[in-house]
A and B are shown apart, each in its own frame.
Chain A
Amino acid sequence: MFDLPAIRGSPRPMILGHLFRGVNVNVFNILISGVGGQGVLLTSKIIAEAALLQGLDVKQSEVHGMAQRGGSVLSQVRFGEKVFSPIVSEGEADLLIGFEPLETARYLHYLKDDGAVIYNTRPIGTIGVSIAAEKYPADIEDIIKSRVKTILPFDGTQLAVSAGDKRTLNLVMLGAALRFLPLKESIIIDAIVNTVPKKVLEINQKAFAAGKARVS
């Protein structure tokens, strides 16, 4: 009978036994929401990289393709000693980073009771708003306030534009999220250097500092 060389160098069939039992499966769950084109994915990529550099297991989930064309975008990062599922279920999120108010409100039910929200207050209309078929809700800030204890709203788009490019919003949001992340700042800074393309690194570091300064 043909057979394959052992995978992971173990006898066959592999009995993993209690390998993962008793391991601390507490994970920190982050949701990052926004509108396609806002650069949500880069923020989650940097956080995931930082978790890895800090010696943790990490999983990150994102959606490509059709959803990116100006639609609602959600990225998820989970890290801890051992992470199984790459997605965050309802009621599990420790932190929600919203790049846009409506897209923040959309995922509030994913938060834990004591979960925190930081979000960019600059609204982006939906296509329904643009064609005057719908109205952008005026009460989004109140809705978020009524549901969450720890909230940090600020005009991140303005900070990004001031840093030199609206596309650095993702680093502004990361800077603002810093104090909620159980990761070392120096490691996050290393993760930025590892992840952001060299030619736009400086402007992104500036945006990160602006976001951080906004909340400290």
Chain B
Amino acid sequence: MRHDGSHYMRSIFLKKTILSGNEAIARGFIEAGGKIAAAYPGTPSTEVLETLSQVEGIHAEWSVNEKVALEVAIGGALSGVRSLACMKHVGVNVAADPLMTVAYTGINAGLVLMAADDPGMFSSQNEQDTRHFARLGKIPCLEPADSAESKQYIKAAFELSESFDTPVILRTTTRISHCKSVVTLDAAESPAGRGLARDFGKYVMLPSNAKKRHVFVEDRLVRLKAWAETSALNQVIDGDKEIGFITSGISYQYVREAFPNASVLKLGISFPLSEKLIRRFSASVKKLAVVEELDPFLEEQIKAMGIAVHLGKNLLPSCGEFSQRLVREKISSSPLPMKEPVSGLLLRPPTFCPGCSHRGLFTVLAKLKLYVSGDIGCYTLGALPPFSAMHTCICMGASISAAHGMAKGLALQGVKQKPVAVIGDSTFLHSGITGLVNMVYNGGDAIVIIMNNDTTGMTGGQEHAGTGRSAKGTAAPRLDIAKLCQAVGAKRVREIDSYKIKDLEKIMKEELADEGPSVLISNQPCVLRYRISKKAFAVERKTCVGCKACLKAGCIALSFTPEGKTGHVEIDPLLCNGCGVCAQLCTTGSMKTM
């Protein structure tokens, strides 16, 4: 969904409003006087930068990837203004290199990395827990529990960053980032710019300097621990002493709802832990429960203090997200009565939109039974039936480098099969380019298909370096993907039209026969992002023979009606977007535009 910013615009006039956690973080950044915000889109983090892109006086940009985004924010902080980088959990892996060393250099003006985890994997390829990065980098991690806290905590994070000369991780989860709750707005501060940082020993991480900075990092961690003991970001709710709960983030809400009268220690600071506070709290209750989604990050550290945790990951799962019901059931070890879900219901997995440019390509890839090395984006849906035409999907940019490794591995085994990499435009610019350079340099032989739909599709249609527009919607230089591929030395770079399946099949066969590496680029815009509406097709009942050939297009606008001798296909005129892929598969020419 495209963010329309209406909430933000309205919020200027209303003190109390409903914001998602992401919108609240954006608002907090504005109130903290933040100036530089850089991000790469990734569910559930995307809306922070989308909201900020509409604000005057803030430089908000879609960076090429998360590493670049963090480095831009580091530069912003070193230049003297409060700076923010936003990404989803797996983006932190990409940004880990600068993160681990900016932990040493420290900051000049405040620096915050907002990372959104996705327990339950609503739109992610793994379920990793970002809090480990805080421990790895020995930097603080704050976890808000609703939108009001999201706004408050990012402001606290900037103060913390500047007080302790450290980057700070603000960690959310899907239910914090995407849930909406009531926020009271405050006036924006305007901290004075600090000016450009010049300090050889602090900002140039040569080994001789880094050795000294490592000592600083260890000392800073000791001071952060002392600060955490008395910070108001950690809160005690004094209640019944039978079970005391230590929890953070969204889990706090589930605990409060499941056990409204219990004593709770809510940790707004999930790293470093406030050991004395935790000791006092656990001594005050009969049994101690630690409730956290994903990894036992708090629990293991609490156990390492020698404190007994009676109820924790021995009862609660490490996979998936929690709910108030799950917490109530698991902690009390008694299943609640539950109505059975209706059994045997058809699943409704996501699928290509009607009119999507990916449909034609995957129809052909499925027909030719090619081995497809996939990537992260809408086109990953090509892995699902009826196409089942994607065979790996690991991480952003992996399609090309993995296809290269596959081609080499197959050749060494004497197997004649050319793998095909499929990658989108935004993902290619994110981290596919390096894979292509590598493949060309190392004598690779695979087909690379770049599905350029002129947007970052899966996350709702954000701009990137190839769209010709900035995050703010202003004109920007437009990167030419074909020229770039030629420049890195790909043997053949050809344009394809992914809607024309016969031509596409012919080109694929030519490329399979020839020596690679070759790059095929489809330049068909995203129908959702650009609101493209084409005339619907209809089926001529007289000539349709019910052969079902068109159903291979895998489109929800199509349906088969088993009436009469052969049955026939129908097209829902409200859903059809006139791409014509099904009509090209039709054996009797029965599909025509209305």
Binding site for B on A (CB under 8 A): 1-8, 10, 12-21, 25, 35-37, 41, 45, 48-49, 52, 57-72, 83-87, 89-92, 102-103, 105-106, 108-109, 111, 124-134, 136-137, 143, 147, 157, 161, 166, 194-195, 197
Are the CB atoms of A126 and B236 closer together than 8 Å?
no
Contact A105/B554 with A15-B238, A20-B256, A66-B458 known, Cβ cut-off 8 Å: no
Are the CB atoms of A130 and B558 closer together than 8 Å?
yes
Question: In the complex, A194→B11 CA distance in Å?
Answer: 11
Question: In the complex, A136→B223 CA distance in Å?
Answer: 62
CB of B434 closer than 8 Å to a CB of A: no
Question: In the complex, A81→B178 CA distance in Å?
Answer: 22
B393 to chain A, nearest CB (A): 12
In B203-232, the 8 Å CB interface with A consists of 223, 226-227, 229-232
Are the CB atoms of B4 and A197 closer together than 8 Å?
yes
Closest residue on chain A to residue B228 by CB atoms: A13
Question: In the complex, A62→B18 CA distance in Å?
Answer: 14
Are the CB atoms of A57 and B559 closer together than 8 Å?
no
In B537-586, the 8 Å CB interface with A consists of 548, 551-552, 554-560, 574-575
Contacts of B152 in A (CB 8 A): 7-8
A171 to chain B, nearest CB (A): 16
Contacts of B182 in A (CB 8 A): 52, 57-58
Are the CB atoms of A13 and B236 closer together than 8 Å?
yes
Are the CB atoms of A126 and B231 closer together than 8 Å?
no
What's the tally of chain B residues with a CB closer than 8 Å to chain A?
Answer: 88
Are the CB atoms of A13 and B231 closer together than 8 Å?
yes
CB of B394 closer than 8 Å to a CB of A: no
Contacts of A91 in B (CB 8 A): 325, 336-339
Contact A128/B346 with A2-B164, A64-B460 known, Cβ cut-off 8 Å: yes
Are the CB atoms of A21 and B261 closer together than 8 Å?
yes
Mark B337-355 against chain A: 1 for CB-CB distance below 8 A, else 0. 1111110011111111100
16 residue pairs of the A-B complex, CB under 8 angstroms, read A4-B231, A17-B237, A18-B239, A59-B179, A61-B178, A61-B180, A64-B44, A70-B556, A84-B257, A108-B342, A125-B559, A127-B384, A129-B559, A130-B555, A131-B552, A194-B10
Are the CB atoms of A128 and B1 closer together than 8 Å?
no
In B152-187, the 8 Å CB interface with A consists of 152, 156, 159-160, 163-164, 174-175, 178-182
Contact residue among A61, A90, A147 (Cβ-Cβ distance under 8 Å from B179): A61
Contacts of B551 in A (CB 8 A): 130-132
Contacts of B232 in A (CB 8 A): 4, 6-8, 10, 12-14
Question: In the complex, A167→B8 CA distance in Å?
Answer: 24
3 closest Cβ pairs, A-B complex: A65-B123, A65-B43, A89-B325
Are the CB atoms of A71 and B175 closer together than 8 Å?
no
Contacts of B341 in A (CB 8 A): 106, 108-109
Are the CB atoms of B323 and A89 closer together than 8 Å?
yes
Known: A21-B239, A91-B339, A197-B6. 13 other contacts (CB 8 A): A1-B227, A12-B232, A14-B235, A15-B238, A36-B350, A60-B181, A65-B459, A69-B350, A72-B347, A85-B257, A86-B175, A127-B386, A133-B385
Are the CB atoms of A131 and B385 closer together than 8 Å?
yes
Closest residue on chain B to residue A87 by CB atoms: B323
Mark B98-134 against chain A: 1 for CB-CB distance below 8 A, else 0. 0000000000000000000000001100000000000
B107 to chain A, nearest CB (A): 14
Are the CB atoms of A71 and B348 closer together than 8 Å?
yes
A18 to chain B, nearest CB (A): 7
Contact residue among B156, B180, B459, B560 (Cβ-Cβ distance under 8 Å from A7): B156
Contacts of A126 in B (CB 8 A): 346-349, 556
CB of B523 closer than 8 Å to a CB of A: no
B548 to chain A, nearest CB (A): 6
Are the CB atoms of A102 and B346 closer together than 8 Å?
yes
Contact residue among B336, B351, B385 (Cβ-Cβ distance under 8 Å from A69): B351
